[in-house]
Chains A and B, each alone.
Chain A
Amino acid sequence: QQQVKQSPQSLIVQKGGISIINCAYENTAFDYFPWYQQFPGKGPALLIAIRPDVSEKKEGRFTISFNKSAKQFSLHIMDSQPGDSATYFCAASMKNSGYALNFGKGTSLLVTP
C-alpha cells in the first residue's frame, strides 16, 4: 500500500523553467518529509526536507511547500537546469516507525536545453 502518492510520473521542463512535483499522504502521524534526487545507477541524495511545523522551506533553487491541512507537499525547482535531470522521490517518515522512509513512486524529470 503506497502511503505517499507522487505526481506526475514524468515531467519535461525547459531550461530556466520551474519544475513542480507534488506529493500527498494520508497518515497524519508522519512528521518528516524529505525529497531525494537520484541519478541512474546511484543512490538517492537528500535534497531538502521539511517538518510539519513550517509551511515552506527554501534552499537555493529548491523549495518545499507544505500544506498540513491538505496533507500535501511539493517540490519546486526554480531556474531548472539540464543537470537537474534525474528522478525525484518524495518520502515521509515518523518517529513511531523508527524513522523508516515511505517513498513515493518517483518523478522522472527531464530539463531540455
Chain B
Amino acid sequence: GAVVSQHPSRVICKSGTSVKIECRSLDFQATTMFWYRQFPKKSLMLMATSNEGSKATYEQGVEKDKFLINHASLTLSTLTVTSAHPEDSSFYICSLAGKRGSYEQYFGPGTRLTVT
C-alpha cells in the first residue's frame, strides 16, 4: 500500500481563524487525492476530489470557498478551513489513489481539528 502523511495531527484554533492541513504521499505520485471528514462515531463523508493541476470537485453541500483545496503537486494536497467555526470541528482525513485509473485508496492518519 501507499504511505500517506498528514500534518498537523491535531490542531486547536480560535473561531474565525483559518487552518491549513497538509496531505503528502510519501512513496509514489498521486494523481488523485480525496478529502473526507468524519464526526465522532460516524462514517466518513467525502468532501472533495482533488486532481493534480486542476480545480477540486466538491460534493454537494460542501462550501468550496470555506474549504479551499490545492493539489499543487503529485505528492501534496492541502485543505484550508477558512474562518473556522466550532461546527467545523471534526476529523479530517485525506486519501490518495495511485496510478491513474486505480481503484485502491490509501488513507492518511487524519487531522483532529478543534475550533474553540
CA distance A32 to B102 in the complex (A): 10
How close is B29's CB to chain A, nearest CB, in angstroms? 16
CA distance A102 to B46 in the complex (A): 8
CA distance A18 to B68 in the complex (A): 44
From residue 24 to 74 of chain A, which have CB atoms closer than 8 A to chain B?
32, 34, 36, 41-46, 49, 51
The reply to whether A43 and B110 contact each other, CB–CB distance below 8 Å, is: yes
Could you say which residues of chain B place their CB within 8 Å of the CB of A46?
1, 104-107
Could you say which residues of chain A place their CB within 8 Å of the CB of B93?
43-44
Question: Secondary structure at chain B's binding surface: helix, strand, loop or mixed?
Answer: strand
Chain A-chain B contacts (Cβ-Cβ < 8 Å), number = 60
CA distance A11 to B110 in the complex (A): 25
CA distance A108 to B103 in the complex (A): 25
Query: Which A residues are closer than 8 A to B by beta carbons?
Result: 32, 34, 36, 41-46, 49, 51, 89, 93, 95, 98-106, 108
How close is B22's CB to chain A, nearest CB, in angstroms? 14
How close is B18's CB to chain A, nearest CB, in angstroms? 23
Given contacts A95-B101, A99-B97, contact A43 B49 (CB under 8 A): no
Encoded as 1 (CB less than 8 Å from any A CB) or 0, chain B from 8 to 41 comes to 0000000000000000000000001010000001
Given contacts A44-B93, A46-B1, A49-B103, contact A100 B46 (CB under 8 A): yes
The answer to whether B112 has its CB under 8 Å from any CB of chain A is yes
The reply to whether B104 and A101 contact each other, CB–CB distance below 8 Å, is: no
Could you say which residues of chain B place their CB within 8 Å of the CB of A43?
4, 6, 93, 95, 107-110
How close is B42's CB to chain A, nearest CB, in angstroms? 7
The reply to whether A99 and B105 contact each other, CB–CB distance below 8 Å, is: yes
How close is B35's CB to chain A, nearest CB, in angstroms? 11
The reply to whether B109 and A105 contact each other, CB–CB distance below 8 Å, is: no
Given contacts A44-B93, A98-B49, contact A49 B104 (CB under 8 A): yes
Given contacts A44-B93, A104-B43, contact A99 B103 (CB under 8 A): yes
Given contacts A34-B103, A34-B105, A105-B43, 13 further A-B contacts (CB under 8 A): A34-B104, A36-B107, A42-B109, A42-B110, A46-B1, A46-B105, A46-B107, A93-B103, A95-B101, A95-B103, A99-B105, A101-B95, A108-B41
